Amino acid sequence: MRNILLIIIIAGSCFKGYGQQLSPENKKLYNYLMAKSKQQRKTGKYLLIGGGIAYSVGALFSLNDGPSSGIYKAAPTILGLGAGSLVACIPFFLSAGSNRQKAQEMLVSFQLEKHYIPLPQGMSASRYPALAIKIPVH
């Protein structure tokens, strides 16, 4: 019986298995960064679509060369607003990607783990590189 118990203890000490979880502080920060990234991406899409539509409408107004009441005078303003909106969407997309990358970096880490090896003289500890991946379950 003692031999079986000793074999179980030695076999159990060779394998290190555990479930990784985000700490409560990191989970809040991860959720905050992901929500912020989604909101910035949504704002960037609205600016991109709105700017494209405004720019197209301004281009159509500038092509109107008929004797209308002056719709062609509004074309440069609308073209400028559309171009400004198209340029303004770029920082939103960049910051959304940055926040998403920050959140993803919280889930993957590279570190040196200790591994204990039972020897006849006692236990020997060695370090090996380990890649830790944390998968948040919502």
Q: What is the pLDDT of residues 27-59, one digit of tens each?
A: 778 888 899 999 999 999 999 999 999 999 988
Structural domains counted in the chain = 1
**Where residue 122 falls among pLDDT bands split at 50, 70, 90?**
confident
pLDDT in tens, 52-102: 999 999 888 888 766 666 777 788 889 999 999 999 999 999 999 999 988
Cα 112 to Cα 127: distance, rounded to the nearest angstrom: 6
Q: Is residue 64 part of a domain?
A: yes
Q: Is residue 90 part of a domain?
A: yes
- Tell me the residue range of the domain where 37 lies: 21-106
Q: Is residue 33 part of a domain?
A: yes
Residues 130, 17 contacting (CB under 8 angstroms): no
Q: Is residue 123 part of a domain?
A: no
